[in-house]
Amino acid sequence: MLCLAGTSLCFAQAKIYQNPNAPVEERVKDALSRMTVHEKVLLLHGQSKFTSAGVPRLGIKELHHSDGPHGCRAEVEWNSWNTANWNNDSCVAFPSLTCLAATWNRDMSAIYGKAVAEEFAFRDKNIMLGPGVNINRMPLNGRNFEYMGEDPLLAGEMVVPYIQNAQKQGIACCLKHFFVNNQEWHRERVNVNASERAIREIYLPAFRKGVVEGGAWSVMGSYNKWLNIHCCENDSLLNGILKGEWGFDGAVVSDWGGVHSTMGAALGGMDIEMGTGAGDGVSSRGIKTYTYNTNFLGDNFEKLINEGKIPMSVLDDKASRVLRTIFRTAMNPNKVIGELCSEEHYDVCLQIAEEGIVLMKNDRNLLPIDVSRYSHILVVGENATRSLTEGGGSSELKTKLDISPLDGLRAAFGDRIDYAQGYYSGRAMYAMQERTDSTRQAQLKAEALEKAKSADLIIFIGGMNKNGGQDCEATDRNEYQLSFGQPELIAALAKIQKNIVVVTFGGNPFDTSCMKSVPAFLHCWYLGSISGTAIANIVSGKVNPSGKLPITFAANKNDYPCFHYGERGFPGVNDQLYYDEGIFVGYRYFNTNNVKPAFAFGHGLSYTTFAYGKPTVSASTSGKKTVTVSIPVRNTGKVTGKEVVQLYIGKNGSKVERPEKELKDFAKVSLNPGEEKTVSFTIDDEDLQYWDETTHSWQVESGKYTVYINSSEVVNKGKVVFVR
């Protein structure tokens, strides 16, 4: 209190925390000094399903959280998961994060982050629950579509521009689910046993990049356990690695209902407990109220603080982290107004969708479709008409515009298009896959086969669909094959008409043996609001495909190493899950053990061809020890195209077990016909290191390394050796 000498006038001291121009740290310090213990505690847990409190007495705003990560989820009721039934909360559904990863284009991540955050800003949200960078270890994981593939370098590189550009809008990203949340089965109970090396080399790096380089303002603790402790209460993970080693200064948010004890959350590094549920109360007027004081970081926590059983410094640290998040977002003077469903956002959605679609196969150059050759194009498949922005769990979106593949193809090819559903799946969210009626299934199949006889081109549109048991939160896939009789239907259609294009959706790899008799095959992940236009632009040749797989499609499910050790590897034994394959996840296993994938990591065709010249290597002459590898790439075809040049490195004669080679960098280049560009990569020690479990540190071996310049993990375009 400041009092004027000789008068009775006293003024509250200047409220630095309310000064938008003051540095965030000063605002935090000032706000904290004015708050009671109770007010600090209130910041640390939910006050509704998707908000956490501010300090109304001081004019400090609350935080509004929302899923994430593909668009801003529709409103739910204040205290329940029920839809709030608003009519102003439709958004743009952006492509799934797997699709973003498949673009292998950092610029796409940047425009994605900016656009999606603008939608959150317009909806008055502060924390976007995403993006997710859990590694695709297990090909049946129901949430793989929400992540960025199987490789830590690719996921890490792609997540950084997303976070940076989202947060520039004043919206916090909540990087999730930290960590080793690689399956949905018993996700709240399962404990992951993985080697220190696998943790460091495979499961942590993308999170580290998101925090250290992306500067994520919040991180979501996952449901599962590590070291037999829930990740939301895991001192080694949250205080040790995240806040300690990586210097994370933001707020750790729990996954909804992921906190299980007061002491665990208090001392284990949790800052905002969400989703634990409300206690019922009754107001003095007899009205039902909800109170979140029963949360683990509620009354009980406050009592332990007041009794001195938990140090005040723990409370102050947590409250400071939440205040920092509030000043960075809700009370950030630079937070944008944003926009919802703007033309610009649809453009972003379309560009990413087009760049993420992977041309898996294109025999006889069946694609792009030469319309002059076909008068009757039959589209078959439920996914041609079904909304794929719905379903899947918390990433589900309510969209204003949802252009289906059939709409897109009709717009491109007009009256030539006919349609037969071919199979059906039902709509079974969260539950296990709905049982389908075999009579109806047979009728739909017969109808499609009948129509196929008069078609001169078939476009089959199927794959997964975000149903429970397909690819959906809280469940894993039931099988590696496509469901609902799709493989048999595809084979039968291909027998009738050899001009058949198969288009599939889904975030997971699957058994593609049914594609043997199919000349053209596109995999589309999930493409968001204007899915149909993106597909039409690719099949018509308006856009040249340039997506590359961020995952390995194995020929057989059991080729994936997580299935090699019985139930230990999946789904776990007595809720103990063992990552016995260690660092040999995804292509690292396939290349080291000479197992041929059906479609390799990094694979993706184009309507043009690229020729690679000879790679050259030069060592830096000054400062940091680096090596530069350069390679010329030329477009040798007739249309403009984009190529993803991939750099892998392997250690010759390593003294430790290592994959044959690992992705260390990549570049996407656009080339006009005949054009050539030289792509250069700089390699430093960080690209060569491995985690040493005896010294618990990164080590770099001296000696020879081989650099592979590839157009997919298995297609080498040039090698050079250098000595470190």
Tokens of 502: 């198969």
Cα separation, 131 vs 113, in Å, equals: 9
Active site residue 255: yes
- DSSP string over 366-396: -PSP-GGG-S-EEEE-GGGTS-SSS-SSTT-
Nearer residue to ligand BGC within complex by CB, 260 or 568: 260
Smallest separation, CB 179 to ligand BGC (Å):
13
Closest distance between ligand BGC and the C-beta of residue 130, in Å? 7
Compare residues 125 and 176 and give the one whose CB is closer to ligand BGC. Answer: 176
CB-nearer residue toward ligand BGC: 97 or 631: 97
- Cβ 50 to ligand BGC, closest distance in Å? 7
Question: Minimum distance from CB of 75 to ligand BGC (Å)?
Answer: 12
Which is closer to ligand BGC, CB of 181 or CB of 421?
181
What's the min distance (Å) between Cβ of 218 and ligand BGC?
11
Distance in Å, CB of 424 to ligand BGC, minimum: 28
Q: Is 189 helix (H, G, I), strand (E, B) or coil?
A: coil
Compute how many residues bind ligand BGC; rule: CB under 6 A. Answer: 7
Q: Which of 46, 68, 368, 650 touches ligand BGC (CB under 6 A)?
A: 68
- The rounded distance, in Å, linking the Cα atoms of 83 and 676 is 53
> Of the two residues 62 and 67, which places its CB atom closer to ligand BGC in the complex?
67
Given the complex with ligand BGC, which of 176 and 243 has the nearer CB atom? 176
Give dist(CA 690, CA 200) in Å, integer: 9
Token duo for residue 519: 């000349």
Burial 130-151 (b: 16+ CB within 10 A, else e): bbbbbbbbbbbbbbbbbbbbbb
Which tokens sit at 406?
């059939």
Please calculate the CA angle 195-256-396 and round it to the nearest 5 degrees: 100
What contacts 29, CB < 8 A, 6 or more positions away?
16, 320
What is d(CA 390, CA 73) in angstroms, rounded to the nearest whole number?
A: 11
Token pair for 445: 């199949």
To 10 degrees, the CA torsion angle through 434, 440, 442, 443?
Answer: -150
The residue among 314, 395, 306 whose CA lies nearest residue 116 is 395
> 150 vs 255, which CB is nearer to ligand BGC?
255
Nearer to ligand BGC, 367 or 472 (CB): 472
Q: Which of 39, 67, 157, 271 binds ligand BGC (CB under 6 A)?
A: 67
When the beta carbons of 97 and 367 are compared against ligand BGC, the nearer one is 97
Contacts of 321 (CB under 8 A, 6+ apart): 249, 250, 251, 252, 271
Residue closer to ligand BGC by CB (options 146, 581) is 146
**Per-residue tokens: 189:** 């109970």
- Could you tell me whether strands 641-651 and 704-712 are parallel, antiparallel, or unpaired per DSSP bridges? antiparallel
Q: How far is the CB of 177 from ligand BGC (least distance, A)?
A: 6
Q: How far is the CB of 143 from ligand BGC (least distance, A)?
A: 8
Collapsing DSSP to helix, strand or coil, 327 comes out as helix
**What is the DSSP-derived secondary structure letter of residue 636?**
-
What are the tokens at 593? 């053990």
545 is a site residue for ligand BGC (CB under 6 A): no
Q: What is the dihedral of CA 572, 577, 580, 584, to 10 degrees?
A: 100
Residues 333-372 touching ligand BGC, rule: CB under 6 A, are none
Q: Using CB under 6 A, which residues numbered 253 to 272 contact ligand BGC? A: 255-256
> What is the x/- site pattern for ligand BGC, positions 23-62, by CB under 6 A?
----------------------------------------
User: In the block, which residue shows the tokens 């906190």?
Assistant: 259
CB of 68 to ligand BGC, least distance (A): 6
Q: Which of 30, 255, 402, 687 is catalytic?
A: 255
By the rule CB under 6 A, 394 interacts with ligand BGC: yes
Structure tokens at 450: 């009948």
Site string for ligand BGC, 171-190 (x = CB under 6 A): -----x--------------
Give strand ranges (E) for 156-307: 172-178, 191-193, 218-221, 225-226, 229-230, 251-254, 279-282, 288-291
72 counts as binding ligand BGC under rule CB under 6 A = no
Beta bridge mates, 60: 55
Q: How far is the CB of 522 from ligand BGC (least distance, A)?
A: 28
Query: Virtual CA dihedral for 455, 461, 463, 466, nearest 10 degrees?
Result: -140
Kindly tell me which of 184 and 382 has the beta carbon lying closer to ligand BGC.
184
CA distances to 345, 557, 587 from 613, in Å:
38, 37, 25
Determine which residue in the list 41, 42, 129, 216 makes contact with ligand BGC, applying CB under 6 A.
Answer: 129
Residues that bind ligand BGC (CB under 6 A): 67-68, 129, 176, 255-256, 394
Active site residues: 255
